[in-house]
């Protein structure tokens, strides 16, 4: 086969400021593959995504989930050039990479990322991986033996999906679609749909043959788009794509090598002709418009307004823009919004809008209401009536000129958010998003903004903002009329599909509309549902007031000058286009060091200037207030929690306009045990200062005697706090055990029970007294951290002085002198071996142990370096030994754990083994690590396989990759803020670059570690480390034989009875074995059989044999497989073997464990000893 040639597509790509040092280029191979190349010389990772225009809509009716299985098989199978099936995963593991894949109705995507490094031959490992994934996509070899394993993986995936509300709601949408459509079918696949096939034309379907045909028909070059990103030049990346994907087969002869706009519309080319009618039929007299799903989860009402491109009322580009405008407008939460009106009536807790893509020709405008219990019971009818007969008529009556001004402001915000967007946290996830867009790109120039941009934003357009000229004003008015028409066309009762999820019997609106004979059961997601035609009674009412949102207070006049924004956009474009010829410094070389700008006994001000592009015109600040006059207590902790909830009620609507512009804020109460509150704000400097003032002024006002806190507001705040802590108490046993270590060793932290008890003692009067005392002059110590644009540093410092008086001298009337007392960690004594056993949540069938070994002081470089190296050393064997080989638990984690003053190594296991047995297995593992692994290791092996690979992780700044098997090191820093703006990332995975970097900076100051370097590891120490010294430290600090070791374990035990645990364990084991052999039985059916037979082998065999024979399984297969399964179950079930609980290290002399009977007594005794 002749290698493909490659053609450059000359399309300018508009770029955010943070990406302006990256060069972008579209290319097309002569075999039809389209690619986006991204060159960033400052990038330390390289990534690739390949997306294919095929998906579950290509599944045969007889094999739902086939496309999903194909995705799994391509990744897990061998290929023509790489016969070892695990080669791809092995490379990613060895060089600390990540990968993922997914399948939708029309698309299958594969993507990975890897730190920049070379393989053993000196070739870039990224180049090798690109070749491996290209060969897997181009020449996979499907083996029958691998298919069952991947079917089981898919079944496990679907089992998890069944618990997700979002999946149930999407499946409910499918039930309302035209049943002839491909979209309406179940598409994930499970063990039943992928193993039990109907007889077609007198033959049973051969799954491997069907799988091979699906691959051959769809995985062809003309269906593929690629996004590749790395530090290499555009020329290098182009050659890499050409050499690895250039020989990819085509299904038909490519007539022309010249580029056409169709290269950006592969989905439309592949799929459009297959859809002959709209996905959702127009409402007809007996056509159901609603699905009622019975669920015990929190109630939800989802409204879906279908949008069909086949109707051609608007262009695809207009539909994309107007759908995004619609989502932002109807999802608004500022004063006068739908959300504001309904939440004030206690109908809803949250409102979500989004665009849901169904097919290339069909989408849905989704308006979702998460309802309160009273809103679900009595508020649904009034919500629907007010929305369709009140708010929407009012909206249609708004003067188009007002809509034009709103659209102009929306466009300004959209451009600002694009231009000042943060760096992405994951290079491969960003490649995946761009590759999905590349398969169907309406506006390639704005591909980095999801192809969303009004035509007036392009270079050469003479249209400015609404305010810049009469011509521009007229143009914006024309867009306003189109948008009003868009809303009128699609957002109507006759075009609405309703999904109700909740306890149907408690909903007054639905009770009279349910027909028991219509109730059905969905076999895939296992919920009861009813399709219904719901009509809305017409009520004569006056239009409801609906206020268009405005964020002008946070735009500072930018909405009036589109021309200036376009000039900035063009300037960034030119810089990006020229970056391919520039010498760009590695981003880590541009990093600055934080500096202490000022300090006294009441505060410290830290600033960090930033040279990197992502901080252009951006300030990120944190104000952490530590009250020095109040004692740490459970009651004060809960007072702070109530304060944050009340504060959020008062500021949310007034600050929501700032969220629209891209500002973010969070307010975190007390994650250290003392009376501590932190406010973090991110955005343009002027707006950050405004937001801080709004938050702090209201916080101080709440503590004033004349501030009116209504009983209902206070009660609602207490309920939210109680709910938060009750949900925390119902966490899984492993999470509770991890929290237990913190509570035992952090001196000021109190238990969940103590906090819930304290909450009962707080009334409105005692709360107001707490708030008043919070602001006694000079009683607060402030950590003020400002990063990025520092122009507001003095303004913020002076403003805060007006609240806490940290800059002024001593007050002559001041009766108390306050001193800062930092939280402390209780240090374990040498030779300590403590354990505590507690009971899990009553419905949790699992047991857990968190086994913690204190290894030193957190601020000691040697202790930190060796503990981090211990973590890496353990990561190579922990999961393979405990979870994969010995299968002692569902969850096995192990690694570094940081406390306020100390640090250590933890091993955390969740299992259905008894807690003491889990701990025995952990100690056996540590003994194995010491004797079998370290004991047999040579100096050369230690240097090559441990030390050098660990140093490579440091060099590539990839130590955080260990979190996958270790969990986060600093759990206290991971506690989610009490309240935050809707756009603030709530977890590490979703944090952008600036948010993540600021959090690290703030934590170093808050915990008084002040370690601001890229790595805290002492590289000089590691360069001199020998195997003998490593063994000595391991024997002293980690070994179970050590008399100096400091150890604490927290055990959580299920309250379930022993027989129930046995049945649960045997059911789990049987479920896994049966699925691996291709036998289908539901978990409920299997548990019923195990319970009925009490797990007795003979009875169990008979019942299972009868079950599978009635399903048509062959006699010989049933006999052979079931005998093997029962034999293996007997071998692994603890109750079947008295030796299974024998401690293998029982003859080894170790420290005698001491049980902790009382947390309070334990902490008091160790504190006194210190």
- SS3 labels along 368-403: EEEECHHHHHHCHHHHHHHHHHHHHHHHHCCCHHHH
pLDDT higher than 60, residue 1135:
no
Residue 891's H or E segment, with its range, is: strand 891-898
pLDDT band at 291; cut points 50, 70, 90: very high
pLDDT higher than 70, residue 4:
yes
Q: Are 409 and 26 in contact (CB under 8 A)?
A: no
Q: For the segment 568-617, what is each residue's pLDDT rounded down to a tens digit?
A: 999 999 988 887 655 544 455 457 899 999 999 999 999 999 887 778 78
Helical pair 1115-1132 and 1058-1076, crossing angle rounded to 10 deg: 140
pLDDT band at 1041; cut points 50, 70, 90: very high
Residue showing tokens 């109040």: 630
pLDDT higher than 50, residue 150:
yes
pLDDT band at 423; cut points 50, 70, 90: confident
CATH 3.30.830.10, domain 6-273, yes or no:
yes
Contacts of 351 (CB under 8 A, 6+ apart): 331, 333, 338, 339, 342, 343, 367, 368, 369, 370
Residue showing tokens 């079918």: 185
The residue among 149, 94, 121 whose CA lies nearest residue 1072 is 149
**What pLDDT sits at residue 1132?**
44
447, with CB counted inside 10 A (0-12, 13-18, 19+), is buried
pLDDT band at 975; cut points 50, 70, 90: confident
**What pLDDT sits at residue 1140?**
45
pLDDT higher than 50, residue 1137:
no
* Residue 38 vs residues 109, 134, 419, 571: alpha-carbon distances, Å: 18, 18, 17, 19
The residue among 555, 955, 975, 1006 whose CA lies nearest residue 822 is 1006
**What pLDDT sits at residue 533?**
93
Q: Taking every pair of C-alpha atoms in the chain, what is the biggest distance, in angstroms?
A: 99
pLDDT band at 987; cut points 50, 70, 90: low
Q: Choose between 428 and 1096: higher pLDDT.
A: 428
- Whether residue 222 lies in the annotated active site: no
Q: Are 1007 and 626 in contact (CB under 8 A)?
A: no
The pLDDT of 495-516, averaged and rounded, is: 91
Q: Determine the Cα–Cα distance for residues 43 and 528; give it in Å rounded to an integer.
A: 50
pLDDT higher than 70, residue 1118:
no
CA 802, 803, 809, 812 dihedral sign is positive
* Residue 1085 vs residues 129, 1081, 1103: alpha-carbon distances, Å: 44, 6, 11
**What pLDDT sits at residue 1076?**
58
Q: Determine the Cα–Cα distance for residues 847 and 966; give it in Å rounded to an integer.
A: 19
Rg (CA), the chain: 31
Contacts of 255 (CB under 8 A, 6+ apart): none
Q: For the segment 693-707, what is each residue's pLDDT rounded down to a tens digit?
A: 999 999 999 999 999
For the chain, give every domain's residue range: 6-273, 283-424+447-550, 591-804, 833-970+1007-1055, 1058-1136
pLDDT higher than 80, residue 257:
no
Q: Are 141 and 79 in contact (CB under 8 A)?
A: yes
Q: For the segment 1069-1079, what is each residue's pLDDT rounded down to a tens digit?
A: 677 667 656 56
- SS3 labels along 711-747: HHHHHHHHHHHHHHHHHHHCCCHHHHHHHHHHHHHEC
**Burial state string for 120-143 with b = 16 or more CB within 10 A and e = fewer than 16:** eeeebbbbbbbbbbbbbbbbbebe
**What pLDDT sits at residue 986?**
63
pLDDT band at 670; cut points 50, 70, 90: confident
Q: Determine the Cα–Cα distance for residues 382 and 953; give it in Å rounded to an integer.
A: 58
Q: Are 1109 and 1101 in contact (CB under 8 A)?
A: no
pLDDT band at 566; cut points 50, 70, 90: very high
Q: Are 264 and 441 in contact (CB under 8 A)?
A: yes
Helix (H, G, I), strand (E, B) or coil at 655: helix
Helical ranges in 1054-1158 per DSSP H? 1058-1076, 1083-1093, 1097-1110, 1115-1132
The pLDDT of 84-113, averaged and rounded, is: 93
pLDDT higher than 90, residue 640:
yes
CATH number, domain 283-424+447-550? 3.30.830.10
1157, with CB counted inside 10 A (0-12, 13-18, 19+), is exposed
Residue 109's H or E segment, with its range, is: strand 108-115
Angle at 355 between CA 352 and CA 356, to 5 degrees: 105
Q: Determine the Cα–Cα distance for residues 1017 and 869; give it in Å rounded to an integer.
A: 9
The residue among 1126, 1109, 1127 whose CA lies nearest residue 1118 is 1109
pLDDT higher than 70, residue 338:
yes
Helix (H, G, I), strand (E, B) or coil at 853: strand
**Burial state string for 66-76 with b = 16 or more CB within 10 A and e = fewer than 16:** bbbbbbbbbbb
**What pLDDT sits at residue 590?**
55
Strand 199-200 and strand 300-308: pairing? unpaired
- How many residues are given for the chain? 1170
pLDDT band at 529; cut points 50, 70, 90: very high
Given 43, 71, 333, 468, the catalytic residue? 71
Are domains 6-273 and 833-970+1007-1055 of this chain identical in fold? yes
The residue among 1049, 741, 1053, 737 whose CA lies nearest residue 923 is 1049
Beta-bridge partner residues of 529: 293, 520
Q: For the segment 451-486, what is each residue's pLDDT rounded down to a tens digit?
A: 999 999 988 899 999 999 999 999 999 999 999 999
**What pLDDT sits at residue 1138?**
35
Q: For the segment 798-846, what is each residue's pLDDT rounded down to a tens digit?
A: 999 999 999 987 655 556 689 999 999 999 999 999 999 999 887 677 8
Q: Choose between 883 and 811: higher pLDDT.
A: 883
CATH 2.40.50.100, domain 833-970+1007-1055, yes or no:
no
Residue 1162's H or E segment, with its range, is: helix 1159-1169
* Residue 1138 vs residues 155, 272, 884, 924: alpha-carbon distances, Å: 33, 64, 22, 18
Q: Determine the Cα–Cα distance for residues 991 and 987; give it in Å rounded to an integer.
A: 6
Angle at 774 between CA 769 and CA 779, to 5 degrees: 135
What fold is seen in the domain 591-804? Cytochrome Bc1 Complex; Chain A, domain 1 (3.30.830)
DSSP state of 233: -
Q: Are 894 and 906 in contact (CB under 8 A)?
A: yes
200, with CB counted inside 10 A (0-12, 13-18, 19+), is exposed
- Chain Cα centroid distance, residue 427: 15
**Burial state string for 553-578 with b = 16 or more CB within 10 A and e = fewer than 16:** ebbeebbbebeebbeebeebbebbbe
Which bin fits 998, alpha (ψ -120 to 50), beta or left (φ > 0)? alpha
- Count of CB atoms situated within 10 Å of the CB of 41: 19
Quote the strand ranges of 6-72, DSSP E.
6-9, 23-29, 34-39, 45-52
Give backbone dihedrals phi and psi of 589, rounded to 5 degrees, phi first.
-80, -15
Q: For the segment 532-547, what is each residue's pLDDT rounded down to a tens digit?
A: 999 988 876 665 677 8
Q: Choose between 3 and 672: higher pLDDT.
A: 672
Q: Are 699 and 627 in contact (CB under 8 A)?
A: no
Q: Are 257 and 30 in contact (CB under 8 A)?
A: yes
pTM of the model: 0.87
Q: For the segment 843-854, what is each residue's pLDDT rounded down to a tens digit?
A: 677 889 999 999
pLDDT band at 1056; cut points 50, 70, 90: confident
Average pLDDT across the chain, whole number = 89
């Amino acid at each position: 086969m002749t290698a493909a040639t490659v053609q450059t597509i000359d399309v300018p790509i508009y770029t955010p400021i943070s990406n302006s040092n990256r060069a972008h280029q579209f290319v097309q191979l002569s075999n039809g593959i389209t690619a986006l190349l991204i060159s960033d010389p400052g990038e330390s990772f390289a990534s690739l995504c390949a997306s294919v225009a095929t998906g579950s809509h290509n599944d045969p009716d007889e094999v739902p989930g086939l496309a999903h299985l194909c995705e799994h098989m391509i990744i897990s199978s061998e290929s023509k050039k790489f016969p070892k099936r695990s080669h791809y995963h092995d490379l990613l593991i060895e060089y600390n990479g990540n990968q993922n894949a997914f399948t939708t109705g029309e698309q299958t995507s594969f993507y990975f990322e890897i730190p920049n490094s070379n393989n053993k031959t000196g070739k870039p490992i990224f180049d090798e991986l690109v070749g491996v994934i290209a060969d897997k996509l181009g020449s996979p070899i499907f083996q029958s033996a691998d298919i069952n394993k991947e079917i089981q993986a898919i079944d496990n995936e679907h089992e998890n999906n069944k618990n997700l509300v979002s999946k149930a709601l999407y499946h409910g949408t499918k039930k309302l679609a035209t049943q002839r459509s491909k979209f309406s079918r179940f598409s994930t696949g499970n063990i039943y749909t992928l193993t039990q096939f109907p007889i077609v034309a007198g033959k049973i379907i051969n799954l491997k043959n069907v799988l091979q045909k699906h691959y051959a028909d769809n995985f062809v070059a003309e269906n593929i788009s690629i996004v590749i990103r790395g530090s290499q030049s555009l020329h290098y990346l182009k050659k890499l794509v050409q050499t690895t994907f250039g020989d990819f087969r085509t299904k038909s002869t490519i007539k022309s090598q010249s580029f056409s706009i169709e290269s950006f519309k592969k989905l439309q080319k592949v799929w459009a002709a297959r859809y002959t009618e709209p996905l959702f039929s127009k409402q007809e007299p007996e056509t159901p418009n609603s699905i009622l799903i019975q669920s015990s989860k929190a109630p939800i009402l989802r409204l879906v307004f279908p949008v069909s491109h086949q109707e051609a009322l608007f262009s695809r580009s207009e539909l994309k823009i107007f759908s995004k405008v619609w989502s932002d407008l109807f999802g608004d939460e500022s004063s006068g919004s739908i959300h504001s009106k309904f939440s004030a009536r206690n109908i809803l807790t949250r409102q979500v809008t989004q665009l849901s893509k169904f097919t290339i020709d069909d989408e849905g405008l989704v308006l979702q209401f998460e309802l309160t219990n009273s809103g679900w019971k009595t508020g649904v009818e009034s919500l629907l009536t007010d929305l369709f007969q009140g708010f929407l008529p009012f909206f249609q009556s708004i003067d188009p000129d007002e809509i034009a001004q709103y659209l102009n402001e929306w466009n300004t915000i959209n451009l600002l958010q694009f231009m000042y967007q943060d760096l992405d946290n994951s290079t491969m996830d960003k490649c995946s998003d761009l590759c999905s867009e590349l398969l169907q790109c309406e506006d390639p120039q704005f591909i980095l903004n999801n192809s969303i941009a009004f035509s007036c934003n392009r270079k050469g357009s003479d249209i400015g903002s609404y305010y810049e000229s009469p011509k521009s004003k007229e143009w914006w008015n024309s867009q306003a009329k189109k948008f009003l028409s868009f809303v009128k066309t699609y957002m109507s009762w006759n075009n609405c599909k309703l999904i109700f999820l909740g306890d149907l019997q408690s909903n007054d609106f639905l009770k009279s509309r349910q027909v028991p004979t219509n109730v059905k059961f969905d076999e895939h997601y296992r919920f009861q549902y009813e399709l219904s035609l719901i009509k809305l009674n017409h009520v004569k009412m006056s239009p409801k007031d609906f206020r268009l949102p405005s964020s002008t207070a946070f735009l500072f006049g930018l909405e009036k000058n589109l021309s200036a924004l376009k000039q900035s956009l063009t300037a960034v474009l030119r810089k990006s286009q020229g970056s391919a010829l520039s010498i760009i410094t590695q981003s880590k070389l541009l990093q600055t060091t934080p500096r202490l700008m000022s300090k006294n006994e009441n505060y410290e001000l830290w600033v960090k200037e930033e040279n990197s592009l992502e901080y252009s015109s951006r300030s990120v600040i944190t104000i952490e207030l530590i009250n020095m006059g109040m004692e740490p207590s459970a009651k004060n902790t809960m007072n702070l929690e109530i304060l944050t909830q009340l504060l959020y009620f008062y500021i949310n609507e007034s600050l929501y306009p700032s969220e629209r512009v891209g500002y973010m804020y969070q307010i975190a109460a007390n994650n250290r045990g003392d009376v501590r509150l932190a406010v973090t704000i991110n955005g343009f400097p002027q707006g950050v200062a405004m937001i801080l003032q709004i938050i702090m002024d209201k916080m101080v006002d709440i503590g004033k005697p004349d501030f009116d806190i209504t009983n209902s507001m206070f009660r609602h705040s207490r309920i939210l706090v109680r709910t938060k802590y009750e949900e925390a108490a119902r966490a899984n046993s492993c999470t509770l055990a991890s929290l237990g270590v913190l509570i035992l060793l952090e001196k000021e932290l109190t238990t969940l029970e103590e906090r819930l008890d304290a909450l009962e003692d707080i009334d409105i009067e005692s709360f107001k007294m707490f708030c008043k005392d919070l602001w006694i002059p000079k009683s607060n110590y402030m950590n003020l951290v400002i990063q990025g644009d520092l122009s507001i540093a003095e303004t913020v410092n002076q403003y805060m002085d007006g609240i806490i008086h940290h800059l002024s001298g001593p007050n002559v009337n001041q009766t108390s002198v306050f001193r800062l007392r930092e939280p402390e960690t209780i240090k374990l004594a040498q030779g300590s071996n403590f354990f505590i056993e507690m009971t899990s949540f009553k419905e949790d069938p699992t047991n857990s142990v968190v086994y913690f070994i204190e290894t030193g002081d957190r601020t000691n470089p040697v202790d930190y370096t060796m503990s981090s190296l211990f973590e890496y050393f353990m990561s190579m064997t922990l999961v393979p030994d405990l979870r994969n080989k010995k299968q002692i638990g569902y969850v096995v984690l192990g690694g570094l754990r940081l406390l306020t003053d100390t640090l250590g190594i933890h091993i955390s296991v969740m299992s259905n083994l008894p807690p003491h047995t889990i701990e025995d297995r952990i100690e056996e593992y540590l003994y194995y690590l010491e004797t079998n692994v370290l004991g047999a290791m040579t100096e050369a092996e230690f240097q090559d396989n441990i030390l050098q690979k660990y140093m490579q992780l440091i060099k590539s700044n990839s130590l955080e990759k260990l979190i996958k098997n270790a969990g986060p090191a600093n759990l206290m820093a991971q506690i989610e803020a009490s309240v935050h703006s809707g756009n603030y990332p709530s977890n590490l995975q979703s944090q952008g670059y600036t948010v993540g970097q600021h959090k690290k900076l703030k934590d170093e100051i808050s915990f008084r570690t002040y370690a601001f370097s890229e790595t805290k590891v002492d590289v000089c120490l590691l360069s001199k480390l020998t195997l003998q010294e490593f063994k000595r430290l391991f024997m002293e600090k980690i070994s179970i034989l050590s008399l100096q070791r400091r150890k604490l374990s927290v055990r959580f035990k299920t309250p379930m009875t022993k027989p129930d645990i046995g049945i649960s364990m045997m059911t789990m084991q049987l479920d896994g074995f049966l699925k691996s052999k291709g036998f289908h039985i539901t978990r409920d059916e299997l548990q019923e059989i195990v319970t009925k037979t009490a797990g007795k082998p003979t009875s169990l065999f008979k019942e299972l044999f009868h079950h599978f024979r009635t399903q048509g399984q062959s006699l010989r297969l049933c006999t052979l497989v079931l005998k093997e399964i029962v034999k293996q179950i007997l071998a692994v079930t603890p109750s079947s073997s008295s030796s299974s609980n024998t401690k293998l290290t029982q003859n080894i002399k170790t420290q005698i464990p001491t049980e902790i009977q009382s947390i309070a007594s334990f902490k008091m005794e160790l504190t006194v000893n210190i």
